[in-house]
Amino acid sequence: MQLNHKNITQSLLGASCTLLGSNVHAQKWDIDAAILYYGEPDRVQAIEAIVSGTKEYSTDHSLSLKVVVDSLTGASANGAIEQATPQTFTRPSGNGQYTVDANTTPLDDTFRDTRVQLSAQWTQPLNRQWVYSGGANVSREYDYQSIALNSSFSRYFNTKNTTLTLGASLSFDSVDPVGGRPVALSEMVVDSGQFNNENDFDTAFNLTRDIDSENRNTVDVIFGLTQVMSKRWITQFNLSLSDVDGYLNDPYKLFSTVNNQGEAISQRFESRPDTRFKQAIFAQSKYHFSRSILDASIRIADDDWDISSQTLDIKYRFLLNNNHYIQPRFRYYQQDEAFFYQPFLSVNSTQPDYISADYRIGRLNAYTIGLKYGFKNKKGNDYAVRLEYYTQTPENPGVILPEPLTNEAVFPSVDALILQFNYSF
């Protein structure tokens, strides 16, 4: 076919419309936006804003874009053990110190970061039975960056009542901590007047640091089954595997070496294995009663760090008149400790290759209770607010505490308030 000027103009117009997503079949963007406040008394405060947009280009072809910005300030437990006397620590940067009062959980109050995350996801049918979805995710914060790619294929069976999905994700992360990476198991250098000058301190500090950044790569695979059970009931089952390889230490976490009198005689940087293999089973069921919806999910997970966990999450949405709803929520989480978790190291013990006093990989229970209220106006815009209370209760995994430490909060609980506003249009 010979292309005349009109043909070319029309072709170019069509191509540009396709690129811009403005062909005649295109729908408008569906936007979901939310802002969340997360606050722990005397600890971390975070604000997180998220805007997510989805546009359908033709039947079941859709593009989703998401931007997340979060800002964190406040204090985070540094892993050292509470003492009956004040304790002084060097800031992660090596510039300055902070002192923790007696009988107070040691918190590093220099915790401050801003994270930006961008995500894109494309989904389209390949034919009447198969659907493909692929996406990318980029995240950047001061000391951490991540690039991730994902792909999944789904196949319908039984007139779309059954869907099997196989998905995989590759994530390439880079860790570049403030002040460099602490050498695992090295002792924190604290200037207590023993150095002649600043250069001597810097020399000692630098001996405990590796300057170059480190990588962390993750491969995730998920096998999922979605089943329509009845006109009111849908279920999902996922089996997921995750293989993490690289730098897995938390560079800001310490553990204390404690003598028989319960006194911390040194603070050292934690050491974790450089691989982790995780597996989880997840099941979810949603049932629509005449004026309410039950959404219940359960997750059972374990890994080769011996962290096994159970999670139960129940949301019950009461559908009120005029498109209003109210939704109570209860979540329960329980985990066992990693094999190398110790709240402190006793001087009577040999120093192991791997040790962490980070309570988040210790034995703990956590509960979330909350309430969400939302409504849809006549234009179809959704508004919602949710308020939740989250509490974590770390437990002693069976460690015998020296007598003086029984008066200290060795396993302090953490409480948090979560407040979120949603707007969709």
Residues 130 and 59 sit within 8 Å (Cβ to Cβ): no
Residues with Cβ within 8 Å of 197's Cβ and at least 6 positions away in sequence, in order, are none
Q: Can residue 284 be called a binding residue for another protein (CB under 8 A)?
A: yes
Q: Can residue 183 be called a binding residue for another protein (CB under 8 A)?
A: no
Closest approach, Cβ 400 to another protein, in A, equals 23
Q: Can residue 137 be called a binding residue for another protein (CB under 8 A)?
A: yes
User: What residues numbered 192-231 form the site for another protein, per CB under 8 A?
Assistant: 216, 218, 220, 222, 226-231
Q: Can residue 242 be called a binding residue for another protein (CB under 8 A)?
A: yes
Of 70, 187, 202, 210, the residue at the interface with another protein (CB under 8 A) is 70
Of 234, 314, 326, 417, the residue at the interface with another protein (CB under 8 A) is 234
Q: Where are the beta strands (DSSP E) in 231-323?
A: 233-246, 254-258, 264-269, 275-288, 292-303, 309-319
Q: Can residue 143 be called a binding residue for another protein (CB under 8 A)?
A: yes
Nearer to another protein, 209 or 317 (CB): 317
Nearer to another protein, 201 or 423 (CB): 423
Q: Can residue 422 be called a binding residue for another protein (CB under 8 A)?
A: yes
Residues 107 and 75 sit within 8 Å (Cβ to Cβ): yes
Stretch that binds another protein, among 82-90, 183-191, 331-339, 398-406 (CB under 8 A): 331-339
d(C-alpha 280, C-alpha 289), whole Å: 29
Picking from 218, 213, 54, the residue whose alpha carbon sits closest to that of residue 148 is: 218
Sheet holding 345-346, edge to edge: 264-269, 254-258, 345-346
Give the count of beta carbons closer than 10 Å to the beta carbon of residue 250: 20
Picking from 23, 215, 25, 52, the residue whose alpha carbon sits closest to that of residue 120 is: 52
Q: Can residue 6 be called a binding residue for another protein (CB under 8 A)?
A: no
Q: Is 265 exposed, middle or buried (0-12, 13-18, 19+ CB in 10 A)?
A: exposed
Stretch that binds another protein, among 14-22, 203-211, 295-303, 344-352 (CB under 8 A): 295-303
3-class secondary structure, 349? coil
Q: Can residue 317 be called a binding residue for another protein (CB under 8 A)?
A: yes
Of 311, 330, 397, 417, the residue at the interface with another protein (CB under 8 A) is 311
Q: Can residue 50 be called a binding residue for another protein (CB under 8 A)?
A: yes
Closest approach, Cβ 142 to another protein, in A, equals 9
